[in-house]
Chain A
Amino acid sequence: MRSTLALALSAVALAGTVSAGAAQSWSDMQIARAVQGEESLEVHVKYGAGRFNLRAVDAPHLYRMRMRFDEDSFEPLHEYRRGRLEVGVSGNQRWNSSLRLADSEAELELALSRGVPIDLRLELGAVVTEIDLGGLQLTALDMALGASESRIRVSQRNPLILSRASLKVGAASFTATELGNLNAREILVEAGVGEVKLDLEGLTLRESELHAKMGLGSLEVRIPSNVGIEVQRSTFLASVNAPGLSRRGNTFYSENWDSAEIRLRIRLESVLGSVTIIRP
């Protein structure tokens, strides 16, 4: 949980480079690169404040990016070399004491190729996030979100199998839908403070695991009824609401656990708040 608190603080640090009263000078940038025989793409996004959108893009693009930023306070970050892409903004050393957590006009839109396997790593600060990972060929997924409002969707199935998808959330409102389409053997969700909603629609792997750690706040997990679930919980001052589960020892099981073709093992850790498991 320390890491998620640190994430929230780093979000403040990422965003805290602009004087609230300073005049702004907006700069627009577009970048597009065509596929040139790349066999994989490693993407690292580092973005402090503003709006961030991510989606898939068709050939011939390897990636396409559109950015709007305050050039008085930030410098665009774009580096591509041999299948490694790093994008975002960085403070330009004009450190001021005051903060502005989210800028309404700052924006980063990123579209990544559907046709190239992608290792995706996102570090987002105080950002309003809208991500659709559908159509991407993900080989790795590591997301760290600070004080943000994030909506993530996986509208189409990942054709590759992910061994692990890591979603770390600081202080945020975080909603992820159709996470089952990630095709991940393990999904790790670590949240500090806030409201987290996870929808695991789209699960097809016979065995997969969801490991959810929640500090302070509410966690809601929605799981399709055809999926058999096993729940192990470790809570301190948190209530767990999981109707329809029966207890065997220290573990809870759904009624269809023994017969289900698709099984999900859930490990819940929560300090203070509520955990709700919904079976539609």
Chain B
Amino acid sequence: MFRHRSRGVFAPLALALSLAPLGTAPAAAQEREVVFHQVSVSSREATLRLEFNDGPELVISLQEGELRVGDRSVGQIEPGGALDASWRALLAEAIALDNGAVSRLLASWTAPEGLSGESAAAAELLQSELASTFAGPPPALSPRPALEGLLLRQDRLLGLAAALQGLSQEGLRIEVGESVVISSDEVVPGSLVIVDGSTQLEGRVRGDLILLGGSVTFGDDARVDGNVRWSDARIEGNRDAVRGEFMEVGTSAALRDTEANLRDELRREIEASLRPEIQALRNESRSRSPSVFRNVTRGVSGLFQTLLTFGILLGTGLGLLYFFPRNVDVVARTARHATGRSALVGFATFVLGVPVWILGMLVLVVSIIGIPVALLWIPAFPLAVVLAMVAGYLAVAQNLGRWASLRQFGPFQSADVSRPAMRLGIGLMVLLSGFAAAHLLQIFGGIFMPFRVILNAAAGVLGVLTVAVGLGAMILSRGGRDPAFAGPSWDNDFDDAPASWSQDVDTDPLDEEAL
């Protein structure tokens, strides 16, 4: 549809261009006082906002590559390109100036050379806008870049086609990308077409006035015998100068909306026509993958996650054993010999941790000296608690590993638990075995759901208890530095023959507590 309309556009446009040569007209100086200016420059935007003593505000913004003048988009600019850099440099200079100096600076801006395509057209418009806004004649511009810019903008051409419908070509005058002044003694014999330019109309237009982009200001003595057809344009001044009507012929935004609506409509139609097939395919897919496969997939995935967790915890634990073997040993012994006390301290920390953190923060903040410390306290305290929980958990896992081996549980009975790493590995297996079993049951289908829930709950409770005891042991032993609550050394235990371990377990009631 759009292709068809586009073809229709070029014929009257080409004819009009051939009939009416593009030209420039002398511009009169327009002194405007800037009463407010706002300059915003950041990596995302470079925006200028001006308010004048005699009229509406001017906003030129460059945001994420789109250059806008007021509400209308005048083109996409390559980020980091010559125009982007030039505009930013201009605003960076303007940011330190007063209103008057800003006016002079903006009026003297010229677009960088070597621009092409949409950037050239946008620069043309920008320069034209600034020149028409401030005093001084606009710089001489060759018509060719403006025309090229116009031809590259399909939306503007579409607007032009709509505006030129039924327009008489007799005496037609077209101005593209220029600041035009029709002085009071000047008469345009036919219609006047202004594309992306600003116009000061003091004289007479015998035909219609067509505005696409840009602006027109009607002087007191201005006169337009026909209608004003406009799109994306700003109209100011004496509106009584127009004998006919003001007719909006559709904005480029509206045209874009139409195009977008058509695309959406087409997409909806395609989706509607394909919906039965898609639904059939979905049903077929579901019938091919019964829930048993979903259960297998989820169960295997869960097992894999548990294995990954085991690996991460084991790696962390081995690291702790390598770098802090004595501390881990003291924490583990504290957890074993003061299990109840450790659990109480751990649960108390669960409850009081957050209030202590907040209170500490407040105390530090309200004292001036403490403010820098507060900056450290805010992230460091929760981080320290989490680290203590992990370290304590791993230390208690060692105890569990030793306990499982001494109880001669299945595969663990022949393990050499004199090695801390072995104890840690076995302990983690015990702690995570509940989750692993639950995932394993999931593979065999939904009928095991109750068992899975029980296993998950039991493993969760065991995990929480382990964390509580471990955290408490970490606190009681000051991170493994204070053996006040620790029992005899592991090494002493394991220096004995394996038989004595069993004896030790049988006679030492604290081992029961260690769980």
Contact = CB atoms under 8 A, between A and B. Distances in A.
Contact of A171 (B34, B40, B44, B366): B366
A219 to B, nearest CB: 14
Interface stretch (B12-20, B371-379, B489-497): B371-379
A231 to B, nearest CB: 27
A192 interface: yes
B390 interface: no
Q: How large is the interface on B (under 10, 10 to 19, 20 to 34, 35 or more residues)?
A: 20 to 34
A101 B365 CA distance: 9
A25 interface: yes
A104 B38 CA distance: 24
Nearest to A76: B40
A27 B41 CA distance: 6
A38 B14 CA distance: 54
Interface residues of A, number: 37
A60 B44 CA distance: 32
Interface in B47-98: 51, 53, 94-96, 98
Nearest to B362: A9
A32 B99 contact: yes
A200 interface: no
A170 B42 CA distance: 33
A279 interface: no
A193 B366 contact: yes
A interface SS class: strand
Given A5-B366, A25-B44, A30-B95, A98 B379 contact: yes
B378 A30 contact: no
A192 B38 contact: no
A12 interface: yes
B39 A30 contact: yes
B312 interface: no
A20 B379 contact: yes
Interface string B351-368: 000000000011001111
Interface string A29-56: 1111110100000000000000000000
A171 B45 CA distance: 37
A36 B99 CA distance: 13
A92 to B, nearest CB: 13
B99 A34 contact: yes
Nearest to A57: B98
Interface in B15-38: 33-38
Contacts of B379: 20, 98
B287 interface: no
Contacts of B34: 34
Contacts of A130: none
A210 to B, nearest CB: 23
Nearest to A4: B366
A18 to B, nearest CB: 12
B375 A101 contact: yes
Given A20-B379, A98-B378, A27 B40 contact: yes
Interface of B: 33-45, 51, 53, 94-96, 98-99, 102, 361-362, 365-368, 371, 374-375, 378-379
9 contacts: A26-B42, A29-B39, A30-B94, A32-B36, A34-B33, A36-B35, A71-B42, A71-B43, A78-B38
Interface of A: 5, 8-9, 12, 20, 25-34, 36, 60-61, 64, 66, 71, 76, 78, 98-101, 126, 147, 170-173, 192-195
Given A99-B378, A101-B375, 17 more contacts: A20-B375, A20-B379, A25-B42, A25-B44, A27-B41, A30-B37, A30-B38, A30-B94, A32-B37, A32-B102, A33-B36, A34-B33, A34-B36, A64-B98, A98-B378, A99-B375, A101-B371
For the complex of A and B, 4 pairs with smallest distance between CB atoms: A27-B42, A34-B35, A30-B95, A33-B36
